[in-house]
Amino acid sequence: MERRLLLLLPPLCLCWALSAGGAERSGPPNLLILLMDDMGWGDLGVFGEPSRETPNLDQMAAEGMLFPNFYTANPLCSPSRAALLTGRLPIRNGFYTTNAHARNAYTPQEIVGGIPGSELLLPELLKKAGYVSKIIGKWHLGHRPQFHPLKHGFDEWFGSPNCHFGPYDNKATPNIPVYRDREMIGRYYEDFKINLKTGEANLTQIYLQEALDFISRQQASHQPFFLYWAIDATHAPVYASKQFLGTSQRGLYGDAVREIDDSIGKILKSLQNLGISENTFVFFTSDNGAALISAPKQGGSNGRFLCGKQTTFEGGMREPAIAWWPGHIPAGHVSHQLGNVMDLFTTSLSLAGLQPPSDRQIDGIDLSPAILQGKLIDRPIFYYRGNEMMAVRLGLYKAHYWTWSNSWEQFSQGIDFCPGQNISGVTTHTQEEHTKLPLLFHLGRDPGEKYLISFSSYEYQEVMEQISPKVQLHKETMVPGEPQLNVCDKAVMNWAPPGCEKLGKCLEPPKSNPKKCFWPH
Amino acid sequence: MERRLLLLLPPLCLCWALSAGGAERSGPPNLLILLMDDMGWGDLGVFGEPSRETPNLDQMAAEGMLFPNFYTANPLCSPSRAALLTGRLPIRNGFYTTNAHARNAYTPQEIVGGIPGSELLLPELLKKAGYVSKIIGKWHLGHRPQFHPLKHGFDEWFGSPNCHFGPYDNKATPNIPVYRDREMIGRYYEDFKINLKTGEANLTQIYLQEALDFISRQQASHQPFFLYWAIDATHAPVYASKQFLGTSQRGLYGDAVREIDDSIGKILKSLQNLGISENTFVFFTSDNGAALISAPKQGGSNGRFLCGKQTTFEGGMREPAIAWWPGHIPAGHVSHQLGNVMDLFTTSLSLAGLQPPSDRQIDGIDLSPAILQGKLIDRPIFYYRGNEMMAVRLGLYKAHYWTWSNSWEQFSQGIDFCPGQNISGVTTHTQEEHTKLPLLFHLGRDPGEKYLISFSSYEYQEVMEQISPKVQLHKETMVPGEPQLNVCDKAVMNWAPPGCEKLGKCLEPPKSNPKKCFWPH
C-alpha cells in the first residue's frame, strides 16, 4: 500500500456549488421520510435488482442523490425506528435488551416497554419551527397508550402500533389495531384485510391516499409539514393490491415493491403538481436489511452483501437510500458519505433551522453538507446488536469485534440469516468474540465481507491503529440508557386499545404476569 | 400458481414506435462491439456495484438500452469469443474439447487448434456489405498464423493472439506477441510493459488510441466499419495506466474498470464529435463472468449471482450488456429480452442488411426487434461447459441438467469458483447428473439460484413440460463440430511469429510433441 491515508474515501468527491440561489421558497422545507420495512439494499433497480421493477425510485435517484453507503442503527425494526426518530443509538435511547448478550429486541404485543418519555423525538422538536407532523404506517415504538405517536410529538397518525404480521388472526390473541390519531378504528384481518393465501391487501393504497391527502391539506395550510411514511408491505406477510398481484418477475415480494414504487412515484408527482417539490426534502430508506429468512417469496434482496436482517453484516445493516429535493440537491449524483438513519433526525432539524438537543448524546450527524454541497464528512458507523457493539466501519474498512449469524439451535431448525452464504470464521453460529483481534475487511474491494485482511499485514496494523482509538473512545464514553425491551406480559397486548368501546372491539386481558422476554436472535 | 403462462416474461414490455424516421443516414450503420474480459455483471454501477465507478457506462445505459438478461455461450474466453464471431455454440464451431466430460477449454500458447477455416466469421460476412473491420485487443481464436484475424475477415488487427497473462515473462516460454495486422511488433513484458508488482500498464490507453484513430479514419473514408474492441485490462494480471492507479475504491481491479469506463466514454464522445453516433450501433458486453478465483484484488463481481467464470451458474454466464445507438434505440429503456453474445453476430448482419449463412445452424438470433421496437422474442438460453449442455433457461426458469463448480482436488488446493457461496446439492464438487430430474430455479424471485423448486410441485411439473421438449429437440438435432481444443504441443507456442525476424525476436521452438491437453475445469 503506497498511500498513507488508507481510510480516506477515494478522490471521486463530487463538488458543486449549491444552486439554490435566492429561490422563492420561504421558511424551512417540508420533510418527508419514506421508510420501508425489511426492504433490502438490492431491491431497487438502481442498486442492481435484475428485474429492475422500481422505475420511480430509479427516477428519484436520477433526479436526486443516491447513497450507496447508508446504514441503519440496528438490524431490526423497532430499534432502527427509535434511532431514526431520536437520532440516538438504541443502546442510548433504551430500545435494546439486557436479557442476554447481543440479542435484538423489538416491540411485539407482549412488550411492556416503549419509547421512554425522556427521549425527544423529531416531531416534538420540529414543533418549535411550526411543523405539523404525521406518521402513516407502522409505529413500533410501543403500543401501550403512553407510547403512542401523539404522545411524542406527532399531530396525526394513521396506522398500526405493531407489525401487521402477528398474530395472523389466530383468535387467541388480539389482532393488531389500526389507529387514526388517538383511537383505533379497526383491526387487521377484521377491518383491514390481508389475504394470507393470495397476498392481497389494499393497505398500501390506503397509506398512499393518506399521504396524498395530508400533503394536499398541508400545502393549503402553508405550515411546514413532517410526514413519516412508514409502510410495511415488504414485511412478511408481504402483500399487494389486486392491481399489482402477479405483475412482477419476482413473485409477491416484487408485487409489493412495485406497488410501493408506484406509490412513491405518485407522492413525488403530487409534490410537483402542488408546486412544493422545491420546498420539500424527501428521503427514502429502509429500517433494516432484507429478511432472508422469508426469501424468496416473502423476502427481498441485499444484493451482494453478506447475510440479512438481524445480523451486523452488511446485508443486515446497509440500506437503500435516496435524497430528493429538486432545485437544491443536484440531479443524478452519488454520495459516498457514510450515512445512518439517525442522521435523518439531525439533518431534518438542521433543515428546519433547529439545533439538536444539547443535553444528551446525539449520534446522528447533519448530512446537509453532504447532500447540498457534496462534502464528505468523516465519521464511523457502529454496528450494534442489542447491547453489544459488534462492528465498526471507518472509511472503507470494517472491523468485526463480535460475529454471530444465529444460534446453532435455530439454524438447525432451518432459520438461516445467511442462506447460501458461508464465510468460514465469519458467519458463525456461536457468538464469537474478536475484541482482541478484530476481523478486518475492505468494503471497497470486498463489499461481501468474504476476504479477511491478514492480521499480520501492514494494512491491518495501519488501519487498526486508526480504528482502535475511535472504538475505545466510543466504549469509554458510552452511557447506556435503561433497557426498555426486557419485560413481556400478555396482559399488555392490544386487548382494549383506546377507541375499542365505540367499535365493540374491546377484549378481556388476562391477568398480568410480567416476565423476562426471550429474544432468540 | 394462478397464471397459466408461467414462462412468459411479465407484462412490463416496453413498447414504442421506432423513431428513426427518415434520418439522414445512408447505408448500414457502423458496428462497434466493446467486449470486456472477465468483467462481471455486477461490476457496473448501473448493475449495483456499490462504488459506482462507471459513470460513462451508466450514462451509456441511460442513453441506450440495458439488458439485465444477457448471456455468454460459454463461461470461458476463447469459446465465448468464437461464439460471438460465428453466431454458433462452441460445440458447433469446434471451440470445445472432448478430452474429458464438461471441461472448458481455451487457447493457451500450447494449443494446436484454432478457429476452423470452415467457420464463417462476422467480419468475413460483413465484407459483402462493404464493411472495413478491425479487431483491437485479444483475439483468442488460435495464435498460429492460419488462425489469425486477417485470415478470417478482419482488415486490421492491433493486439495479441492470446491472453496477456501467460507466461508472465518467465523466460522459459515466449512472451505473448503483440501484432499490428499480419506481423508482430513486439512482445508483452518486453516491448509492451505490464508491471506485475504495481499493476501499471498503459495498454488500455494504447487500445483506446487505436480505436479513436480507426474510427476517425473510417469516418473520413465513408465506408461502414466494424470495430471489435476486445480489451483485457480486467483479466488477471489486472492493469491500469498510472493516471488511474489508486483512484478506485476497489483497488487495482477497480482502477482497471475506471480506465475502461473512461475510455468508453471517450469512444462514444468521439462518435458524437464526428457526427456519426446516429449511424453507429454500439454494444457493450463481456466474454464471461467475473473470475472469482482472482477476487478481490484481481477479480470482479457477479453481483448477487451464483459463482463465477468457468461455471454454468448465473455468475459464470450472465453478462453486463448495453446497446447504444442515439436516434434509434430509445434512451433509458431496459429490455428483459434473453440475449446471448451469439446474437451479436446475427444482429450485426441484420443491421448490415445481410442474411446469416443458410448452410449451417446459427444459434444467435436477430435482436433488432428487441432493441429497436421493444419486442420480446421467446428463445431458450443453453448453458454449455465444454461438450455438455449443463443447463437451460426458458423465460424466468432455469433447469440444471448437470451441476459442477470444480473438482475436490482443485477445491482442496484453494481454487474456488464460488467463494463464500455454498448451495447444498447445487454447487457440487463432483460432476452431478440431473438429466432425469433437473434442478429447477425461478430466476425472477431467485436470481441467486438458492431455492430449488420442489420436484413434487405443480410449478415444477408445468415448467418442465415446457422445457423438456425444447431440450430434447436441441439434443436430438445437435451435430457437434470437430473439437479443436484437444491437442497441445509446446512446439506451436509463439516462438517465431510472423515479423519476428525484423525485430530480432524469433525464438527456437522445441521439437514437436503433441499430446492431449489437460483441462482441469
Residue A95, burial from CB neighbour count under 10 angstroms (0-12, 13-18, 19+): buried
| Per-residue pLDDT reduced to its tens digit, B246-296 | 999 999 999 999 999 999 999 999 999 999 999 999 999 999 999 999 999
Render B201-251 in DSSP notation, one character per residue: --HHHHHHHHHHHHHHHHHHHT--EEEEEE--TTSSSP-B-GGGTT-STT-
Residues of B in contact with A428 (CB under 8 A): none
User: Is the distance from CB of B381 to CB of B74 less than 8 angstroms?
Assistant: no
pLDDT for the residue numbered B25: 44
Half-sphere exposure of A381 (CA within 13 A, CB side): 29
Least confident stretch, A22-36, B238-252, B434-448: A22-36
CA distance A161 to A425: 39
Residues of B in contact with A48 (CB under 8 A): 42, 46-49, 303-304
Q: At what angle do helices B55-63 and B252-273 cross, to 10 degrees?
A: 40
Least confident stretch, A16-30, A131-145, A444-458: A16-30
| 3-class SS of residue B7 | coil
pLDDT over threshold 90, residue B516:
yes
pLDDT for the residue numbered A322: 98
Least confident stretch, A468-472, B221-225, B386-390: B221-225
**Minimal Cβ distance to A48: which of B48, B419, B445:** B48
pLDDT for the residue numbered A167: 61
**Ramachandran sector of residue B100 (left: φ over 0; alpha: ψ -120 to 50; beta: rest):** beta
pLDDT for the residue numbered A2: 35
Q: Does A266 touch chain B (CB under 8 A)?
A: no
CA B318 to chain A, closest CA, distance in angstroms equals 11
pLDDT band at B451 (very low <50, low <70, confident <90, very high): very high
CA distance A515 to A490: 9
CA distance A16 to A27: 24
pLDDT for the residue numbered A171: 75
CA distance B215 to B276: 10
CA distance B158 to B227: 11
CA A445 to chain B, closest CA, distance in angstroms equals 4
Task: Report the candidate in A383, A401, A395, A376 with the shortest Cα–Cα distance to residue A463.
Answer: A395
pLDDT band at A14 (very low <50, low <70, confident <90, very high): very low
Sign of CA dihedral B36, B38, B40, B45: negative
Please state, rounded to an integer, the average pLDDT across all residues of chain B. Answer: 94
pLDDT for the residue numbered A3: 37
Half-sphere exposure of B263 (CA within 13 A, CB side): 30
pLDDT over threshold 60, residue B17:
no
Q: Which residue of A has its CA nearest to B53?
A: A12
pLDDT for the residue numbered B167: 61
Strand segments (E) across A287-394: 318-319, 322-324, 333-334, 339-340, 381-385, 388-394
Task: Considering only residues B104 and A2, tell me which one the structure prediction assigns the higher pLDDT.
Answer: B104
Q: Does B196 touch chain A (CB under 8 A)?
A: no
Q: Which residue of A has its CA nearest to B3?
A: A246
- Active-site residue, from A13, A77, A333, A506: A77
pLDDT over threshold 50, residue A97:
yes
pLDDT over threshold 60, residue A263:
yes
pLDDT band at B168 (very low <50, low <70, confident <90, very high): low
* CB within 8 Å: A444 and B249: yes
Q: Does A447 touch chain B (CB under 8 A)?
A: yes
Q: Does B423 touch chain A (CB under 8 A)?
A: yes
* CB within 8 Å: B303 and A303: yes
Please state, rounded to an integer, the average pLDDT across all residues of chain A. Answer: 94
pLDDT for the residue numbered A168: 66
| 3-class SS of residue A342 | helix
- What's the whole-number mean pLDDT along residues A499-513? 97
pLDDT for the residue numbered B264: 98
pLDDT for the residue numbered A337: 98
pLDDT for the residue numbered B170: 73
pLDDT band at B26 (very low <50, low <70, confident <90, very high): confident
pLDDT band at B70 (very low <50, low <70, confident <90, very high): very high
Q: Does A421 touch chain B (CB under 8 A)?
A: yes
Residues of A in contact with B68 (CB under 8 A): 50-52
Residues of A in contact with B445 (CB under 8 A): 249-251, 253-254, 296-297
Task: Considering only residues B79 and B163, tell me which one the structure prediction assigns the higher pLDDT.
Answer: B79
CA distance A113 to A95: 9
| 3-class SS of residue B343 | helix
Burial code (b: 16+ CB inside 10 Å, e: under 16) for A61-83 equals bbbbbbbbbbbbbbbbbbbbbbb
Reported residue count of chain B is: 521
**Minimal Cβ distance to B304: which of A45, A246, A303:** A303
- What's the whole-number mean pLDDT along residues B469-474? 98
Task: Report the candidate in B92, B49, B59, B122 with the shortest Cα–Cα distance to residue B352.
Answer: B122
Q: Does A450 touch chain B (CB under 8 A)?
A: yes
Catalytic residues of B: 77, 140
pLDDT band at B224 (very low <50, low <70, confident <90, very high): very high
Residues of A in contact with B295 (CB under 8 A): 446, 450-451
Q: Is ipTM > 0.90 here?
A: yes
Render B429-453 in DSSP notation, one character per residue: SS-EE-SSS-EEEETTT-TTS-SPP
pLDDT over threshold 60, residue A18:
no
Percent of chain B with pLDDT over 70: 94
Residues of B in contact with A51 (CB under 8 A): 10, 68, 336, 444
pLDDT band at B166 (very low <50, low <70, confident <90, very high): low
pLDDT over threshold 50, residue A110:
yes
CA B441 to chain A, closest CA, distance in angstroms equals 11
Q: Cis peptide leading into A480, omega within 30 of 0?
A: no
What is the CA B454 to chain-centroid distance, rounded? 33
Q: Does B445 touch chain A (CB under 8 A)?
A: yes
User: Is the distance from CB of B340 to CB of B381 less than 8 angstroms?
Assistant: yes
pLDDT for the residue numbered A507: 95
* CB within 8 Å: B304 and A306: no
* CB within 8 Å: B247 and A10: yes
CA distance B262 to B285: 16
User: Is the distance from CB of A356 to CB of A386 less than 8 angstroms?
Assistant: no
Q: Does B50 touch chain A (CB under 8 A)?
A: yes
pLDDT over threshold 90, residue B15:
no
pLDDT for the residue numbered B4: 37
pLDDT for the residue numbered A361: 98
CA distance B94 to B113: 9
| 3-class SS of residue A35 | strand
* CB within 8 Å: B450 and A62: no
pLDDT for the residue numbered B5: 35
- Helix H or strand E encompassing B271: helix B252-273
CA distance A289 to A310: 8
* CB within 8 Å: B48 and A53: no
pLDDT for the residue numbered A374: 96
Percent of chain A with pLDDT over 70: 94
pLDDT over threshold 80, residue A170:
no
| Per-residue pLDDT reduced to its tens digit, A308-358 | 999 999 999 999 999 999 999 999 999 999 999 999 999 999 999 999 999
CA distance A326 to B29: 39
Which residues fall within 8 angstroms of residue B21, CB to CB, at 6 or more apart? Answer: none
Kindly list the distances between the CA atom of residue B300 and the CA atoms of A21, B289, B292, in Å, as whole numbers in the listed order. Answer: 43, 9, 7
Task: Considering only residues A21 and B428, tell me which one the structure prediction assigns the higher pLDDT.
Answer: B428
Task: Report the candidate in A502, A448, A481, A430 with the shortest Cα–Cα distance to residue A314.
Answer: A448
**Minimal Cβ distance to B249: which of A10, A251, A419:** A10
Which residues of B, range 134-173, sit inside 8 Å of A by Cβ?
none
Which residue do the cell numbers 478522490 mark? A11
CA distance A233 to A38: 9
- What's the whole-number mean pLDDT along residues B308-326? 98
Q: Is A140 assigned a catalytic role?
A: yes
Question: SS3 for A181-239, per residue?
Answer: CCEEEEEECCCECCCCCCCECCHHHHHHHHHHHHHHHHHHHCCCEEEEEECCCCCCCCC
Give the number of A-B residue pairs with CB atoms closer than 8 Å: 135
pLDDT for the residue numbered B172: 82
pLDDT over threshold 70, residue A211:
yes
Q: Does A69 touch chain B (CB under 8 A)?
A: yes
CA A291 to chain B, closest CA, distance in angstroms equals 14
- What's the whole-number mean pLDDT along residues A46-57? 98
